[in-house]
Amino acid sequence: MLLVSQKVPSLLIKWFYAASALVATAYGTTFLLPQLMRDMGGGDADAGLALAATAVTTIAVVLLSGHITDRLGRMRSVAIACVLVAASQWLFARASAPGVATIFAGGVLGVGWGLFYSLGPVVLSQITPPDIRIKVFVFHSVFIMAGFGLAPVIAEVLAQQGASMAQIFALFGGCCLLGGIIFARIRKDVEGVSHEDKSAPSALSVSALGSVVSSRAFLLVLMGFLGASVFAAVTNFQTVVAGENGFSYGSYFIAYTAAVVGFRLGFDRIFGKLPSYVSITALLAIMISSTAILTFFLGSEGYYIAAAILFGIGYGGSYPVIKALCANEARLGLLPQTLQLFGLGYFIGVFGFPYVASQVLALSGVSGLMGVALAMGVLELLIGLGLLLTAKRGIGFDAPSAPR
């Protein structure tokens, strides 16, 4: 049994994890959009338009999430977000042709997913003490990845049994709704153990933004943005990397996913005893070694698979730890705003950097793109080293701090 703390029942955390996995299946369906569009008589460009709407509304709602939760409450907002994600799946399923309907569905998905993804970590931070936050965030990320990683696999099995893409999207909409029902059901239990100061605003005001930017936590926000950009550069164009070298990109993603899930499950045994900033720098060094292989040493498929495994360990292991440290470094009373900014940086990296990466790819080819990813990874590592060298006892994760 996962022992969270004397105050927070482990069963409550398990329900939170399960609901998160159900909602994350909708993120996995974004990989199925090209096929859904083709079934409607459209093409990949139509899927791109729907995802562009998702990107715009995701970033917009993350900026407004504090204002929303100030009015509705955090757990109620999470439950509503799940309903919106479910609605997006049903809108995709009911669309008869690509166009306004699918673009609108993509926009609804962005609102729901952005709200859910940015608020979930805030809720977890407010029901767990700082000294176990990394472990809780790592396990939460495992369930998120299981949700969106298994969705395409389940979809393929169902399609082989004769299910249409529309039916598959409708099914995953039901999964998201079930997740929302679970969040609604545990809302009062979560609020009962939360150490949130309900009188403190969550909105990302100009003054709150200034306070976050001037804090150590903002360096972790930058690290989250840089990591997300490296992730986008490496994974979004993996079909190009594989195609130029005659490799199978499917093998890359299988190795990457297995490494992420396996390492996160074993994180506590492998890195759990190390000081957190030491763990971060070690994991980022592993991530950099992966991008170095993709840049300079991609001579065989063995190296290609090794790069996938190292990237899964390095990026997949470091991301939830950086997010947890960002929560722990947040200034008193500014935890929601700090994590909102972290989520914003992440989504800008994931959704925005692919455009920059595509331009680099067009001008400098695969080696140029991987070189840019390598440079950004090195910059992220340097920031991590700076935080490690300037950390003082009693600051950050390595020593328990007051609830934020």
**306-309 contacts, C-beta under 8 A, 24 or more apart:** 307/252, 308/251, 308/252, 308/253, 308/255, 308/256, 308/259, 309/255, 309/256, 309/258, 309/259
Q: Is 64 exposed, middle or buried (0-12, 13-18, 19+ CB in 10 A)?
A: middle
Distance in angstroms (rounded) separating the CA atoms of residues 242 and 392? 44
Q: What are the residue ranges of CATH 1.20.1250.20 in the chain?
A: 10-197, 207-390
CA trace torsion 370, 376, 382, 386 (10° rounding): -160
- At 364-374, the pLDDT tens digits run 888 899 999 99
Within 8 A by CB and 6+ apart from 313, the residues are 259, 260, 263, 283, 286, 287
Per-residue model confidence (pLDDT) at position 195: 65
Nearest to 376 by CA among 284, 263, 252, 238: 284
Report whether 177 contacts 76 (CB < 8 A).
Answer: no
Task: Report the alpha-carbon distance of residue 380 to residue 274 in Å, rounded.
Answer: 20
- CATH 1.10.10.10 assigned to domain 10-197? The reply is no
For domain 207-390, give the fold. Growth Hormone; Chain: A; (1.20.1250)
Q: Which of 7-11, 28-32, 384-388 has the highest mean pLDDT?
A: 384-388
Q: pLDDT confidence of 71, banded at 50, 70, 90?
A: confident
pLDDT score, position 393: 45
For 4, residues 6+ apart whose C-beta sits below 8 A from its C-beta are: 10, 12, 13, 128, 132, 136
The answer, yes or no, to whether residue 402 has pLDDT greater than 60, is: no
CA 283, distance to chain mean position in Å, is 17
129-175: pLDDT as tens digits:
887 888 888 888 889 888 887 888 888 889 889 999 999 999 999 99
When the pLDDT of each residue in the chain is averaged and rounded to a whole number, the result is 85
Determine what percent of the chain is predicted with pLDDT higher than 90.
Answer: 37
| pLDDT at residue 213 tops 50 | yes
Q: Which of 193, 215, 227 is nearest to 338 (CA)?
A: 215
